[in-house]
Structure 1
Amino acid sequence: MTNEKQAFENENPSDLSLNSLQSLRSILTNREEQAFMSILFSSSATIRMNNFGLSRKEVERIAGVQGDDAYIHSFISRVNQAVGRYYRLIYDEDRDQVVVLLRVPAHSARHTMSEEALAILLFIFYQQEVLKHDYTLLSQLLEAFGHEIKKGSRRIQLAIDTLRKIGAVENHNLSTHEDAYKLTAIGVHMFSDSFLRRMAEFSQSSQLSKEDVMKFFNRYNLHEREGLL
């Protein structure tokens, strides 16, 4: 059985050092490097709060590109090829924003979110990515977790606040007065394929093929959708 560190390294066995960051200079122009650094800076929760990343138009302006619809996807692909072991550049279509996610081993993520926040994010992820629900109601979270957690309502709200602060979920406005939450592009990319496989195998108490797990979670584009944990 491999431990977490081995599993993390096995995801990218050919790219095991920070020297890969040097390859950025061979695949990006000077202006594109500036665009990437600006996205890194603006993706910080302490800088932008809920407005993570840069708009597509701003990225194109810094890079000196105009009127090329395919450019942003080429830029993202080239950056991810070079730094995909450490960062993941994603495009949030709903907000028209380009965002950088930092990849971390699962044990390090405990400093970012509590066990309750992780469980709630997984629940919302399952509902919206697998079952294709448009949103998740607070009442559904209370029903699923409230009886398992002491002072459940308060702790669930605190967990949701954490997820909002890191940009994983956002409030979803309904015509009713019920509180509802929607997964963001950051939340969609939060979990790596290997993390989802370990989670599914643990719940099923049996080994599963990677293809079956990815099909279950509707993650067919494995390279572009590799996540954080």
Structure 2
Amino acid sequence: MTDAKTLGLALDALLEPDKFKDYGPNGLQVEGDREVRLLVSGVTASRALIEAAIEANADAILVHHGLFWRGQDGRVTGWMRERLRLLLAHGIHLFAYHLPLDAHAELGNNAQLGRLLGLQSDGRFGEQNLGFIGQGDQTWDTAQSLADHVARVLGRQVTCVSGSERPIRRIAWCTGGAQGYFESAMAAGADAFITGEISEPQAHLARESGVAFLACGHHASERYGAAAVGARIAQDLGLTHRFIEIDNPA
């Protein structure tokens, strides 16, 4: 058992949020009133995750996508009111870490996705060095064979756009909505780039450059960081931890 302040200090020490220029506040976003025994982790602070945490009798929730973002409507109505009402009514603390949870070299979303896919990072690229680049534990003959591998590991369909049939040796990846990092990945020498989402321009860039673009789902690519961090922090502080998966097709 611990208090929210101790938990927050431990998370900050691990994830170092002050190093990042982010799109919303990192750390404690909603203060509850419970001592922490059970820490639940998940991808997004959705109502479904909050309700599942209540059902599990959780004391704190750790997520990648929190409630508050730069530029959003600040009124507490509708879905925001309901999420906050549930958290406050049950005294549950909500912690959220966005870019710090992507970037952590061992436990972050990018590191964990690379581990699952058999990719070893030997460099970083892109804004705030969030992107990872390196080699796979094998060489894929084509971009489609790499896409098939990613689909098998993540258990979902992968969108693959490739402008060449060259073997895939250097792979860059950045989870979530990092399609804007594609040109940085190309400049870093990647044969293929893996992220969560694709927008219209990236299909043309892939075809014209010959660098493959693989979109494997925003949620699907970011299911692993919060779970890894939650497990580590719980072990360090003597807490119980549980990851709760809320399915999302995006």
Please give the range of the TM-score, normalised by the shorter of the 2 chains: under 0.3
Give 1 or 2: higher helix fraction.
1
Whose relative contact order is higher, 1 or 2, with alpha carbons under 8 Å and at least 6 apart? 2
Give 1 or 2: higher strand fraction.
2
TM-score (norm 2): 0.24
TM-score (norm 1): 0.26
